[in-house]
A and B are shown apart, each in its own frame.
Chain A
Amino acid sequence: DTGVSQDPRHKITKRGQNVTFRCDPISEHNRLYWYRQTLGQGPEFLTYFQNEAQLEKSRLLSDRFSAERPKGSFSTLEIQRTEQGDSAMYLCASSIQGYTDTQYFGPGTRLTVL
């Protein structure tokens, strides 16, 4: 069990550019979640997958954001036409479907939009 991994750990981009983040969940975890966290706030839910199906998206999620989990393993989160307000820590978590559903988080990707 190597834990949830995320890549890159840091990303600096200019406003208007597209960025893509990757998340590798704990092996055998079939649920994968994306959250966003800004300074001084708790994580905010963005979306989640069960296997390859995207089952829930936050109403706050702009249409500039898209996530995929094509084979039910790793996931990517893409942000198109980045804005300064997108600057945040993007966290990925995974869990095993079940009543307990405890989510284990990765180290996060810190995005800075200049």
Chain B
Amino acid sequence: EDQVTQSPEALRLQEGESSSLNCSYTVSGLRGLFWYRQDPGKGPEFLFTLYSAGEEKEKERLKATLTKKESFLHITAPKPEDSATYLCAVQAEETSGSRLTFGEGTQLTVNP
């Protein structure tokens, strides 16, 4: 069974204080690893898809990386508007269906 574990559960940073969120996963053949941002009361907003170990993607202050066992979301010089819950999800090979298996998320708070 596919599993995703995110750490820490919650993270509080000062504005400008860089840090990383972790996503550890086990999956029967990885098709893709996804990062989403979710604001309270809203649906998840797509950020990145990573497909193979060594791949990196960047968007503004966010950078996602992937190894064979985990992914990191690096946040450089965060701002208060980066406060949200960040969700990691995996998708297994096509023969296993198209479902996403999510972790429980990391709740990030950035204080001004």
Which residues of chain A have a CB within 8 Å of any CB of chain B? 4, 31, 33, 35, 40-45, 48, 55-56, 58, 91, 93, 95, 99-108, 110
A44-B43 CB under 8 A given contacts A55-B97, A56-B97, A101-B31: no
Number of A-B contacts (CB under 8 A): 66
A56/B102 contact (C-beta < 8 A), A102-B46, A106-B43, A107-B42 known: no
Kindly state the separation between the CA atoms of A42 and B85 in the bound complex, as whole angstroms. 10
Q: Which of A48, A100, A104 contacts B99 (CB 8 A)?
A: A48
Tell which of A42, A44, A45, A55 has the most Cβ of chain B within 10 Å.
A42
Q: Which residues of A contact B32 (CB under 8 A)?
A: 100-102
Listed by A's residue number, 27 A-B pairs whose Cβ atoms lie within 8 Å are A31-B98, A33-B98, A33-B100, A42-B87, A42-B103, A42-B104, A42-B105, A43-B44, A43-B87, A43-B102, A44-B102, A48-B98, A55-B98, A56-B98, A91-B44, A99-B31, A101-B91, A102-B32, A102-B46, A103-B100, A104-B46, A105-B43, A105-B46, A107-B43, A108-B41, A108-B42, A110-B41
Q: Are A45 and B44 in contact (CB under 8 A)?
A: no
The smallest beta-carbon distance between B81 and chain A, in angstroms, is 19
Q: Which residues of B contact A44 (CB under 8 A)?
A: 102
B72 at the interface (CB under 8 A from A): no
Specify the chain A residue showing the minimal Cβ separation from B99.
Answer: A45
